[in-house]
Structure 1
Amino acid sequence: MSDDMDIPSLHIEPRIDRLYRLLPTIHRIRDIEQGYPLQALLRVIAEQMNLVEDDIAQLYDNWFIETADDWVVPYLADLIGYRPVDAAGAPAQRRDDAGRALERALVPRREVAQSIQHRRRKGTVALLEDLARDIAGWPARAVEFFQRLDRAQNLDHLHLHRLGTASLRDMAALDLCGGPFDPLAHSVDVRRIASPRRPGRYNIPSVGVFAWRMRSYPVTRTPAYCVEDAGPHCFTFSVLGQDAPLYRKPRPEPDRHHLAGEENLPMPLRRRALERHLDDEYGIGKSLAVWAERWAGHDASEPVPVGAVVVADLSGWRYRVPRGKVAIDPVLGRLMFPPNQIPKKGVRVSYHYGFAADLGGGEYRRTMRRPAQDYRLYRVGESGAHDASADAPAPVPRIADALRLWQEQSPQHAVIELIHSGVWVEPLHIRLQPGQSLSLRAANGVRPVIRLIDWQTDLADALTVEMDVGSRFALDGILLTGRPLHVSAPREPETYAEQAARQPDCAAELSIRHCTLVPGWGIGCGCEPDRPAEPSLELYNLRAKVRIERSIVGSIQIQQDEVGSDPMPLTIEDSIVDAAGPRQEAIGAATSAVAHARLKLLRCTVFGTIEAHALELAENCLFNDCLNVARRQIGCVRFSHVPCHCRTPRRYRCQPDGVIATVRDRKLPAPLEQREIAAERLRVRPRYRSRRYGRPGYARLLDHCALEILRGADDESQMGVYHHLYEPQREANLRARLDQYTPAGMTVGLLFAD
């Protein structure tokens, strides 16, 4: 009998069964008859052999900085004399994802790769920009401030390249005054640019490095929002209807010796700059574009031509748009058509907005959760809107169509994937059977929006999900607005309660990843919430494990049977919970004093009060309002900011507890001690660029916030949702390297332009 003879009943995987395939066929036939015991043994041996071979193969890759593992980078850095910066913080002590991210911030792979080249270019101004990009990952612009000093000139030896004084008629120059592209001359400022208190700028030895920490995120071919209160010809680029500045899509620099210009940086678009460079910024694949179907005779498949676009100030919607033109205001994120020439079908836009991190729904690349191997895929959207494999099913136009197919076929595991950045306005109701799983997700690189409206007058119009025993539901990469997400038990509570009681653990699992459940259901022109008292997530009589990751959610209401069920496990990581008002409940219950839930919050920012049954762990969090739990004897709050007079479990290294203990250790007189404590509590309060969802600086800490907050986490990063950016470590690392590579006789200062 031949060894390569086909055996139909034998299931062989090439890599894991490599030893099994070397056996003679007769032994494999006998193994089949006995139930594959020999195959199982050889698979265990082959698995360990594969690990050893992979490790040996990786040893060769570890010789090169481009392919080496993260743990090897510090060793390669040591070979070329690279020394980590002590001020950036201690190396990570743990080997999880957070520890590896901290190591990448302390010893940047890109800086190690370019270290020798940096040393050769030491003393050049363009090198300072490269350092900011290689070390911190921030685009930057280096400025020699001596070139901007106001100097008297000899009439016989004129220097026409020197800057002049301000002219009130030159508004374009006044727009840039004070920034990295300031075209005006200034008098001498004797303060040092590297001063930790009040740094100066305009002096002979001063060199400033303006860094941008804000990122420019795209939105592609999404419907614009018609502002009906202003008129049917008025639109906003944002589908939520708020005024938001449009950002530039940065273009790469031609070479390393080039100094960055406005076109190379993720900056907000200015009106005059956009008008002057409209050809460079408008169009497919550029900073913005507008499509208006069946309008002014233009091709619906192409954007409105650049000749039909005018840049204007649309404040108050008072601008008169000429016929055949469309007006765009990049500062407010608005666009307007002529009142007597309104688009007949719809308006779609592509643009860029500013945000600080990959958080909530967005067109950024994210790690996709791998579903079960035998799952059924349903695609929703326009054909050809998103790349897919040849065996992918044809898309259907609506989510309801995919749900109908899912209910008819009733697979055990299924995924409904939205394949383009569109807006779906339709009522949705999902009913999961026992043990069934469903994932409603966005395709990688798109940002779909589900907009819920008042469809029925006598019923609630939330996105409702009924989860039975052992079922699993995931919402991934979706922006939900208009109504809440309502998750509940089935409508047969007696049967559900009996089945759930027999489960050793929680009966179901609910996962929300990279999603935005708009706080207050929606936002207005000034980013004020439409319904600040309404929750964005409702959990009703649900026995499930709930997990929220990398998301922005509004208020969470939990309604549970406090007598017949255990507290619901609710885990929130790297997220913002925004109650849209300081007196509103971020996590609570409508009909009881506290939410019947057992919370675990890691690296979160919470706006609003929390009233919960218990708190297992709160770590590296910012609680801006009161946090109260019923059971204080379990759990811990560590390395977080919690207001005073809150009912919490035991605290460890929290603020303002730490500064209050320091004041009391000084043994001051009682009246003076109380004043000092009040001043310290006020000093360490978190201060934000904005607390309104929809603005670029949403939930970002100010640079002059207390150091106990900016570096108060357990790994010396900042507390709150942006902990994973490790900005304090990046800043300390960059400042040390800038001093090391500064041109001779010059003083360098790091200035943040966002």
Structure 2
Amino acid sequence: MSFDTQALFVLLPAIHRIRDAEMAQANGLERGPLEELIGVLAEQISVADESLEQLYDDLFIETCAEWVVPYIGDLIGYQSLHNVVAKVASSRAEVAHTIALRRRKGTALVLEQLARDVTGWDARAVEYFQRLNTTQYMNHPRLDNLQSADLRKGEALEWTGSAFETANRTVNVRRIESSGRHNIPNVGLHLWRIQAYPRTLSAAHREGPHRYRINPLGFDMPIYNHPQAEVEITHLADPDNVPWPLSRRRMHHHLERYYGERASVAGTLDNPNPSLQLFVDGVLIERDKVRICNLSDDDVGWANSPPPGGIYAIDPQLGRVALPAEADDPSDVRLKWHEGFSADIGGGEYERGDSLPVPADLTTLVRVPDQHSTLASALVAIAGNGVIEITDNSRYSEIVAINVVDEGRVEIRASNNCRPVLDLGGFSVTGGENSSCIFNGLVISGAPLDIADEADNQLAKLDLIHCTLVPGIELNTDGSSRQAGAASLIVAIHGVDIGIQKCILGAIRCHERSSVRAEDSCIDANNPEAVAYAGIDGESPGAVLSLLACTLIGKVHASEMSLVSNSILLAALSATDSWVVPVRAERKQAGCVRFSWLPFSSIVPARYQCQPDSAEAGLQVTPGFTSLHYGTPAYGQLAGSTPDQIIRGADDESEMGMFHHLYGAQRDTNLRIRLAEYLRVGLRAGIFYES
């Protein structure tokens, strides 16, 4: 039933409505007092009606409010776990599956589904006792239980050592908690921490005539498959259900699984969400014109050029595309592909809606390329006060110079679920009195962000949100930095309040009388012995520094550390270094360093629960990283060999560093608690991270 004002008002007797209209006309009002009263009643009835609808929704686990989930769980005897990972692994899915899991308690299907529900990561359960070499019983031969691997099955050999290995092994008597796997009581739960992030119609980087790199920054990197959801609990995960880098062999043999459209049925996809699609000048290249091959470098260029006949060659392991030699060199090459990374950091096609407020004055919002083809023309249009929103995943190569008016605010941002790349020849910001500038969701390379020391530059505030300022400014084709250690952010004036949230950037040079606050971010000077944070000259003290759950790679010299918490400051001195210590704050009487890792010799304010806690411990308690090479899927991720004092060393027992907000340690703990309830007697489970 509709409870709007007019629907209720027409239910009144006509005489009352006529008198109310006369009173409104006599007093020059749009509505009479009776109609106003009915409006208030209609509003309250709508609130009550909405509450009644929500009460009905709260009867079902799929539609109930989040606060109702534990109460429904209590009805079926569900015991809540540590509730620190609600944003990354809600208990709703586990409660919904509890009855189905209990019916199949102890099976690999249940353990796999349990791992997905509890951790929120993709998972695969492996019963290692089924992968043991055994003596065959002649009345019950097991034809697949071979003592040696079948070398004719090349695709199966790709999975050797992974969760999908089909080869059998001799028994390993070590406990599975001590990395022993192949034994009678052992079940392994393999988890994927790296996720596949979509890149939709992303502009490829032109290497030369008919040759393109898929990554718009122009370096080689693997393409990930788009994981297909498992619709039934009775299905064990296979390689298509988890985020894996695509191999040449697998994509060649199963091209229909990973590449877009069939030529035989126009407009139809085998897979509604393919891992890869190629568009040339806006036209989708059909599957029968695509070949998967090795496009590695040879003496003269790329090996294995595509054969004649309009064939397009793709190398998923290197992320390269070769176009037909007989075709005209196109003006626009774009792809839909997937990139591996650990978290929603640095900009990407993930949800950023909370950080994109709508301006009060919509006339100040201009869109690129919808209304303006370049950022320069859009900056002219807003005249130093407004919002520029980039609505695609193109690559913009230009010079950007921003001048914010007095009391003005300029914001350049990517639309939600967009990831444009700005390859700039210059990047500067100036501002008038009380002016501010915001960058949101951008990937920036080619030039540092420079706030120069000019007479009229009085910029007061700078915010970087979900941005990447490429460490080392630009990348070579192998992914190495062209200007290793170069500053990505240079603030040469005083009084600037700099906020950095969920960003990746290179070294920072900042005036001593400004301030920098970073949260869930990485500041990377490309080497622990390089200078990551200092004054403009790279030696003098930089601005007041605050780090909350950050990873900082390189030496630090700050005027003051107001707060450093749950962070890792990976810094070291070279043999010929002029610095006395790798991390230093000029004023030690102010500020605090807590629940963080930094060299024991550092000169900083009062330390609280920091690691290492002694010079001797510094030799053992050190952070290990899977990769510190920007552009690799595991960039910034702590390795499994990292000591527990760091993995669980934050103030909430999560890991230190930029991925603190993923609560990896709590997910691991929750899964181990839940396994005690669902494992069969005599079985032991181990947790292994595939990525």
When normalised by structure 1's length, the TM-score is: 0.79
State how 1:399-410 maps to structure 2 within 5 Å.
399-407=375-383
**Contact 1:485 1:536 survives alignment (8 Å):** yes
Q: Report deviation, 1:172.
A: 2.2
Counterparts of 1:53 and 1:344 in 2: how far apart (Å)?
58
Residue in 1 that maps onto 2:363: 376
Q: Does residue 604 of structure 1 match 2:550?
A: yes
Residue in 2 that maps onto 1:180: 163
Could you tell me which runs of 5 or more consecutive residues in structure 2 were left unpaired when the two chains were aligned. 1-18, 262-272, 572-581
CA deviation vs aligned residue, 1:108-166 (integer Å, no higher than 9, x gap) = 23223332332222123211111111110011111222222223435665433445622
**Contact 1:292 1:346 survives alignment (8 Å):** yes
Counterparts of 1:548 and 1:48 in 2: how far apart (Å)?
43
Tell me the amino acid that sits aligned with residue 481 of structure 1: S
* Alignment match of 2:224 (pick from 222, 236, 247): 247
Counterparts of 1:747 and 1:539 in 2: how far apart (Å)?
55
* Alignment match of 2:588 (pick from 620, 632, 636): 632
* Alignment match of 1:415 (pick from 379, 382, 387): 387
Q: Report deviation, 1:637.
A: 0.5
Residue in 2 that maps onto 1:442: 414
CA deviation vs aligned residue, 1:384-422 (integer Å, no higher than 9, x gap) = xxxxxxxxxx53222222222212xx7x5x221100111
State how 1:493-572 maps to structure 2 within 5 Å.
508-559=460-511, 567-572=513-518
* Alignment match of 1:81 (pick from 64, 77, 80): 77
SS in 1 for 2:629: coil
Counterparts in 2 of 1:437 and 1:48: CA distance versus 1, 3 Å: farther
SS in 2 for 1:536: strand
* Alignment match of 2:275 (pick from 287, 309, 322): 287
Q: Does residue 270 of structure 1 match 2:270?
A: no
Counterparts of 1:593 and 1:50 in 2: how far apart (Å)?
64
Residue in 2 that maps onto 1:220: 200
Counterparts of 1:78 and 1:134 in 2: how far apart (Å)?
17
Counterparts in 2 of 1:164 and 1:712: CA distance versus 1, 3 Å: same
Q: Does residue 697 of structure 1 match 2:682?
A: no
Q: Report deviation, 1:428.
A: 1.4
* Alignment match of 1:312 (pick from 276, 294, 310): 294
SS in 1 for 2:480: coil
Counterparts of 1:10 and 1:142 in 2: how far apart (Å)?
71
Counterparts in 2 of 1:492 and 1:287: CA distance versus 1, 3 Å: same
Q: Report deviation, 1:61.
A: 6.1
Tell me the amino acid that sits aligned with residue 451 of structure 1: D
Q: Report deviation, 1:513.
A: 0.4
Tell me the amino acid that sits aligned with residue 288 of structure 1: L
Counterparts of 2:486 and 2:497 in 1: how far apart (Å)?
23
Q: Does residue 146 of structure 1 match 2:129?
A: yes
Residue in 2 that maps onto 1:587: 533
Q: Report deviation, 1:192.
A: 2.6
Counterparts of 1:481 and 1:720 in 2: how far apart (Å)?
24
Q: Report deviation, 1:47.
A: 13
* Higher mean C-alpha displacement, 732-741 vs 701-710: 732-741
Q: Does residue 651 of structure 1 match 2:615?
A: no
Tell me the amino acid that sits aligned with residue 205 of structure 2: Y
Counterparts in 2 of 1:169 and 1:159: CA distance versus 1, 3 Å: closer
CA deviation vs aligned residue, 1:284-323 (integer Å, no higher than 9, x gap) = 6411122234xxxxxx522254433233352543334322
Q: Report deviation, 1:535.
A: 1.1
Residue in 2 that maps onto 1:122: 105
Q: Does residue 465 of structure 1 match 2:426?
A: no
Counterparts of 1:140 and 1:71 in 2: how far apart (Å)?
27
Q: Report deviation, 1:351.
A: 1.0
State how 1:700-719 maps to structure 2 within 5 Å.
700-719=637-656
**Contact 2:485 2:506 survives alignment (8 Å):** no
Counterparts of 1:19 and 1:533 in 2: how far apart (Å)?
72
CA RMSD between the two structures: 3.2
**Contact 1:310 1:325 survives alignment (8 Å):** no
* Alignment match of 2:211 (pick from 234, 249, 257): 234
Residue in 1 that maps onto 2:267: none
Counterparts of 2:453 and 2:100 in 1: how far apart (Å)?
62
Counterparts in 2 of 1:54 and 1:10: CA distance versus 1, 3 Å: farther
Q: Report deviation, 1:528.
A: 1.3
Q: Report deviation, 1:734.
A: 0.8
Counterparts in 2 of 1:475 and 1:158: CA distance versus 1, 3 Å: same
Residue in 2 that maps onto 1:22: 37
**Contact 1:73 1:107 survives alignment (8 Å):** no
Tell me the amino acid that sits aligned with residue 226 of structure 1: R
**Contact 1:621 1:721 survives alignment (8 Å):** yes
Q: Report deviation, 1:252.
A: 1.5
Counterparts in 2 of 1:371 and 1:557: CA distance versus 1, 3 Å: farther
Could you tell me which runs of 5 or more consecutive residues in structure 1 were left unpaired when the two chains were aligned. 13-17, 25-41, 92-100, 294-299, 383-393, 454-460, 497-506, 561-566, 661-676
Counterparts of 2:60 and 2:163 in 1: how far apart (Å)?
37
Residue in 1 that maps onto 2:321: 335
Counterparts in 2 of 1:279 and 1:68: CA distance versus 1, 3 Å: closer
Counterparts in 2 of 1:647 and 1:154: CA distance versus 1, 3 Å: closer
* Higher mean C-alpha displacement, 612-621 vs 317-326: 317-326
Counterparts in 2 of 1:630 and 1:314: CA distance versus 1, 3 Å: same
Residue in 2 that maps onto 1:749: 686
Tell me the amino acid that sits aligned with residue 634 of structure 1: A
Identity of aligned residues (%): 36
Counterparts of 2:52 and 2:119 in 1: how far apart (Å)?
32
Residue in 2 that maps onto 1:261: 238
Q: Report deviation, 1:551.
A: 0.6
SS in 1 for 2:355: coil
Counterparts in 2 of 1:686 and 1:399: CA distance versus 1, 3 Å: same
SS in 2 for 1:529: coil
* Alignment match of 1:322 (pick from 302, 307, 323): 307
Counterparts of 1:519 and 1:576 in 2: how far apart (Å)?
10
**Contact 1:466 1:489 survives alignment (8 Å):** no
Counterparts of 1:533 and 1:109 in 2: how far apart (Å)?
45
Counterparts in 2 of 1:252 and 1:642: CA distance versus 1, 3 Å: same
Counterparts in 2 of 1:695 and 1:520: CA distance versus 1, 3 Å: same
Counterparts of 1:115 and 1:717 in 2: how far apart (Å)?
27
CA deviation vs aligned residue, 1:445-496 (integer Å, no higher than 9, x gap) = 111011113xxxxxxx2x2111211222110000001111123476536xx5
State how 1:725-744 maps to structure 2 within 5 Å.
725-744=662-681
Counterparts of 1:166 and 1:747 in 2: how far apart (Å)?
26
Q: Report deviation, 1:227.
A: 3.0
Counterparts in 2 of 1:103 and 1:397: CA distance versus 1, 3 Å: closer
**Contact 2:305 2:322 survives alignment (8 Å):** no
SS in 2 for 1:22: helix
SS in 2 for 1:591: coil
Counterparts of 2:374 and 2:307 in 1: how far apart (Å)?
37
